[in-house]
Amino acid sequence: MFCVGVAMIRPVTSTCARLSSSYVKHARYLFDLKENDDICRQALKSGSFYVFHNLSPFLRNTGNSYSFPAVSASELLRILIEHKMNERMMEKSVLIGCSDSCAAEFAIDLGSLERSRLERELCGKFTDLRKAALQLRLKDTPLMSQAQALLRWHESHQYCSKTGKPTQKNISGSKRVCHANGLIYYPQMSPVIITLVSHRKRCLLARQDSYPAGMYTALSGFCDIGETLEETVRREVAEEVGLEVESIRYSASQHWPFPNSSLMVACHATVRQDELCINAAEIESAKWFSLEEVEEALKWQKVPPKQEDGTVPIWVPPKIAIAHHLIQEWVQEQRAQLKHR
Ligand SMILES: NC(=O)c1ccc[n+]([C@@H]2O[C@H](COP(=O)([O-])OP(=O)(O)OC[C@H]3O[C@@H](n4cnc5c(N)ncnc54)[C@H](O)[C@@H]3O)[C@@H](O)[C@H]2O)c1
Ligand SMILES: [Mg+2]
């Protein structure tokens, strides 16, 4: 027995003997939930639900921080009944994971219910995703972003782009099917590379005119169709600042929900020379920064106030952005090199 509430339904994969690793059991159960409508429908009865209202996540102020709380299946059912909604609305939920004890976790958009009444009943507020991402504890933001991204994808893929007929989601929400021609649609992410370019002891940070005043970050760009990640790094660096990449080193990756789901692939790159030729159509400004200047920029935890001369000091994206991680990593490497000199 490995999960509450699914004992009567035979799982597709979890019959495998000797699944000793709890991580593997967890992954196999998630696979069953995603692929098997009966198992997932059953799990809806005992799962927990993260709620959204027109794609704004529900947050609760817990004193000095904010939480992204889930409601139980029975609580959600009670809410639906009190708001005179059909209880089958629970099937609009999408699966976003399961707890260590294999209780399924779903997200649901209650945009058709009265927002202020819901906020009163649940003791919290529906908050715009960007604001919520900055308010929430760092460890809770990936789940919230994933949930919103999946709900958003379903909201904007209700019709088949070939037949124009409505598509239908499976219970978990891992896909949508057009029953007129059998086409299957899967949730999409666009691959994006983000590169921290360095030359000798300096790194390159840039800004677009749409960024908040004073914010500089690493170079980024969407992968063109048919490109490898390495080709995207080379092209974006050449396109945006006119430099030729010499070497590329992978660092980390991140799901980024703004404005649509991207898979951010973060790299460090070195270039052969440092003379910049900025593409004004994409970049407002790009500059080389020393270790001291980057350390100074990293000191700001949030948007810095204007200085007396009206300018805003240079700052870098907050910790939720993988750009922050790349910049921190570069700083640590520079400090380590200084120590060994
Ligand atoms: N998490 C982070 O640290 C971080 C940092 C920087 C940028 N980003 C994200 O990276 C993404 C790309 O940033 P950018 O502005 O440098 O990209 P970019 O340099 O490729 O320029 C954006 C342009 O690319 C085109 N484009 C091509 N494919 C696209 C697609 N699938 N979706 C949307 N536009 C597409 C559009 O014309 C768009 O205006 C953005 O979503 C941005 O929010 C995240
Ligand atoms: Mg770009």
Q: Is 222 in the pocket of ligand 1 (CB under 6 A)?
A: yes
Q: What confidence score (pLDDT) does residue 8 get?
A: 42
Q: What confidence score (pLDDT) does residue 5 get?
A: 37
pTM recorded for the entire structure = 0.91
Of all protein residues, whose CA lies closest to atom 28 belonging to ligand 1?
Answer: 222
R_g (Cα) of the chain, nearest Å: 23
Residues 141 and 318 sit within 8 Å (Cβ to Cβ): no
Is residue 4 scored above 60 in pLDDT? no
The arithmetic mean of pLDDT across residues 4-14, rounded, is 44
Lowest-confidence range among 4-8, 85-89, 330-334? 4-8
Ligand nearest to the CA of 241: 2
| pLDDT tier, 340 (very low <50, low <70, confident <90, very high otherwise) | confident
Q: HEC profile for 276-336?
A: CCCCCCCCCEEEEECHHHHHHHHCCCCCCCCCCCCCCCCECCCCCCHHHHHHHHHHHHHHH
Kindly give the distance from the C-alpha atom of residue 220 to the centroid of ligand 2, in angstroms, as a whole number: 4
Kindly give the distance from the C-alpha atom of residue 190 to the centroid of ligand 1, in angstroms, as a whole number: 9
pLDDT digits (tens, 9 = 90+) for 48-68: 999 999 999 999 999 888 999
Which H or E run includes 202? strand 202-207
All domains of the chain in start order, with CATH: 24-157 (3.90.79), 190-340 (3.90.79.10)
Kindly give the distance from the C-alpha atom of residue 197 to the centroid of ligand 2, in angstroms, as a whole number: 13
The arithmetic mean of pLDDT across residues 89-95, rounded, is 96
Helices and strands counted in the chain (H then E): 9, 16
Q: What confidence score (pLDDT) does residue 17 get?
A: 54
Report the alpha-carbon distance of residue 161 to residue 156 in Å, rounded.
11
Is residue 13 scored above 90 in pLDDT? no
Is residue 31 scored above 90 in pLDDT? yes
